[in-house]
Structure 1
Amino acid sequence: MEFWEGRTVADISRETCRRFEQQRGRSAGTVRRELGVLRASINHAFREGRLTRTVSVRLPERPEGRDRWLTQAEALALYKASMKEPRVRLHLPLFILIGLYTGQRKEAILSLRWAQVDLRAGLIDFNTPGARRTNKRRAHLPVPPTLHRRLRRARERGTELGFVVHENSQRLKDIKRGFNSACIRAGLANVTPHTLRHTCATWLMQRGVSIWEASGYLGMSRETLERVYGHHHPEFLQNAAKALN
């Protein structure tokens, strides 16, 4: 707001977008998201007839995808550390397991209710009933056996309509503080709740799961999965290497 306040749409150009990026002093990914919102707002105003034309909003280059994922030993260390955190030990371990075994985003896990979990059929629907679908797709997937056992035990402590991951039956607004504390206890650096999604995607690729099936399980586009995680797949570029043998 400090940069754009007082300017009109006519002032938006490649040069002003460059200056905004310099003055903002944040990562290219952050600036790209913010300018993306500006571009979407302009396009919306044009469609609604409030502007006679659109203007071009220059976005920084898309940053490389993060490649930080957890090994099995690191994941186990994080899980054990989460159980030693007194305030969060009743919900943080479950959050970590759901993240590792389903690869869903933090918000999808925190908003998950027991009504969306069918333990008898072994299915989870991460799509909140009645909520508008967005580009951040949520999956409807089978529950892995290890997670199924943990969910059954957690279900005995909850209510049928309550949140799966909760604190005193209340929905958690965020889990960052307890998660960071567990990472420090486990000796892990550069790990966030979103790292659990990276880890699940990486493990699926390393175990040779097809791109088509893994993308459906994660609720991720095949293009993104192949671009960011495809190099972990055991068959990555193998045909090309064999052709040169």
Structure 2
Amino acid sequence: MAPPRRGPSLDYDSHRDRYYIRDYDDAGKRIKVRLGHGAADRPAAQKAFALYVLEKERVEAEKARVAPDAEDPANQDPRLVSIPTCLAYYLQRQREGSSNATLAAYHAEHLLRFWGARMLSQIKGQTCRDYVAARTAERWIPPGGKGPGRPISEQTAGRELQTLGAAVGLWHREFTLTSRPVITLPEKGKAHPDWLTEAEYGRLLRVVQCWRWVASDLATREPVWERAPENPFVAHWRASVGEAYVEDDHLERFLEIGFYTGTRSGAILDLRWQRHRVDGHVDIPGLTIHRAGPEAPVSRKRQPRCRIHDRLLPRLIEWRKADAARTVTDGEGRPGPITHVVHERGVPIQRVDKAFGRAALLAGLDRRDIDGVMRIGNPDPADDMGLPTPHILRHTRATLMLQAGLAPREVGEYLGMSTKMVEEVYGHHHVEYQTRAAAA
């Protein structure tokens, strides 16, 4: 049996005193590329290995590149254009200038399992419905997860079909199909975004600030907190990193920025203290948060700048002062300033989902305050909303702004949503902004 495919590696042959590159060809057969460098020439061997890797990546990229001939009439006939070719061309264009390339590639992986042997002409209402039926019969299990997982929703299948539709649209714009296939999407489900009350957010913030919920007042039912060296949240964190643990406030910063600005998780984690071409930055003198840089990749997710909330401003000033007094070393041991607003010991963070979930459980967010409904643990799993994720902070800010009487247009401009989305997703649940209309 052929050895498993993996990338090239630099190895040393002690018998010949020569470095060589171990790699695998397209058939999975192991190959050796001998280098004329011995143990005394390790830097030269590493440089040769780096050049080998770069050249291999260039060749593979050329092989993977889809370059249809614009003059070929076959590219205009949906009966002669395969769906895999159309998707590959779309993904190639996404990689060249869009921040949605990763999501599009994930959708394409599932689309090809069903559409892989079909042509564009076979995209019809029935085949789209068949795709939705096939996808909803599958279950999603998170990486490393156990158990049966949860069923794929019609909305997930619909988003994947939207990617297919975008691919067909791009092909049509480039080559002008004689007849453009129409993607049939499943009916939209009713919007029911979960959100946090200010009391729920207060509990969540206290947990990450190392307070412990020890009891509840019998008369008011309010939580009784005590300050502790660590709570179960911090204990789990300390155990996971061992000796590398250092007290840090990265999750507290994430929560405060998310709660007061409604900014998406990725944009919060990318926020910098100084102006950047791609990432967003915090402009304290200008009282503005720039959610993305001027050269950020084009995305469907709008990231408009927003004014810093009055309650968030003093926290940002405090954090900026603390970070300015510290330095962090790079991979080569050189000291430098802390660049990101949310960081762990000076290092930028990629995700906070797991830590957020642990904190939500300790804050008692498995039950909603507004109606007493259980978010998780219902007798029928279909009734579960799921434990809050970081995105709930965005839903919370939209809801609280509407409850404060702001018009949907203002809410949309602040959060980067269309007015239609604000009205459809949040407006019919929270009609406080219609108070003046009801009293007219």
What is the TM-score of this pair, normalised by structure 2? 0.52
Matches within 5 A, 1:32-181: 32-49=158-175, 51-84=177-210, 85-86=233-234, 87=237, 89-115=248-274, 116-158=281-323, 162-181=339-358
Counterpart-to-counterpart distance in 2, 1:18 and 1:52 = 24
What's 2:407 paired with?
210
**Letter in structure 1 aligned against 2:169:** N
Range moving further from structure 2, 147-156 or 16-25: 147-156
What's 2:67 paired with?
none
Computed over aligned residues only, the root mean square deviation of the Cα atoms, in angstroms, reads 2.1
Name the structure with the higher helix share: 1
Q: Deviations over 1:97-142 (max 9, x none)?
A: 1111001111111111112211123211112231134331112122
Task: Say whether residues 1:20 and 2:131 are aligned partners.
Answer: yes
What's 1:230 paired with?
427
Q: Secondary structure at the match of 2:117?
A: coil
- Structure exhibiting the larger radius of gyration computed from Cα positions: 2
**Letter in structure 1 aligned against 2:115:** W
Q: Deviations over 1:43-82 (max 9, x none)?
A: 1112221854320111111222233110111001111122
The percentage of counterpart residues that share the same residue type is: 36
Structure 1: unaligned runs, 5 residues or longer: none
Q: Secondary structure at the match of 1:196?
A: helix
Counterpart-to-counterpart distance in 1, 2:191 and 2:273 = 33
Q: Deviations over 1:142-200 (max 9, x none)?
A: 21222111112221343667111122333222111111111111121331111100100
Q: Secondary structure at the match of 1:223?
A: helix
**Letter in structure 1 aligned against 2:287:** G
Structure 2: unaligned runs, 5 residues or longer: 1-111, 137-151, 211-232, 238-246, 275-280, 325-336, 367-386
Counterpart-to-counterpart distance in 1, 2:192 and 2:271 = 26
Q: Secondary structure at the match of 2:306?
A: strand
What's 1:199 paired with?
396
Q: How many residues align?
A: 242
Q: Secondary structure at the match of 1:2?
A: helix
Counterpart-to-counterpart distance in 2, 1:208 and 1:89 = 36
User: Is contact 2:200–2:365 with CA below 8 Å preserved after alignment?
Assistant: yes
- State the Cα distance separating 1:235 from its structure 2 match: 4.0
List, as ranges, runs of 4+ consecutive aligned residues in structure 1 with deviation greater than 4 Å.
Answer: none
